Amino acid sequence: MEDVYGDHWSRTGQVPDAESQDEAVYLPGRNILLMSKASVWCALNGVHAIYSGVLSGNPFPDASSDFFESLAKTLSEGLSWPIQIVRPYSRLSKTDVLELGRNLPLEHTFSCLNPVEGHHCGACNKCAERHKGFRDMDIIDKTVYSRPFLNVTA
């Protein structure tokens, strides 16, 4: 996507930091690209459903119910293969999901924009959001962050 995204943060390494607003992390066409590739794989491998972890409150245009319904229809038509996009968390907030997973090994989930040697960077918008979510829910954050100032318990 280098030829399309050009100097977008996803290409330059100038990742939105912990102080950035959610809008700063927007990646145009993200769900279009992800779902298109996954749908082609599904059609070639006999799979009819793609599951997505999109949550409520996602401010981006490619995260609405209407968008996903329309996309599933378009992908199904274009591939001549019925594709369903399932979003089990679409009515849940981040704190709802954390509550559901409170007793699960959440340190094995991943949400960083700029990983360092396979670990959360601890400095990007998503790491800050993650850490705050754990803290707000009073859940010990066992996530390994590369920046030690975030490597604390909730």
- Is the model's pTM score more than 0.75? yes
- Given a contact cutoff of 8 angstroms between Cβ atoms, the answer to whether 55 and 90 are in contact is yes
The set of residues, in sequence order, having a beta carbon less than 8 Å from that of 59 and lying 6+ positions away, is 22, 23
- Given a contact cutoff of 8 angstroms between Cβ atoms, the answer to whether 56 and 92 are in contact is yes
Q: What stretches in the chain show pLDDT beneath 70?
A: 148-154
Give the pLDDT score at 148.
65
Give the pLDDT score at 153.
44
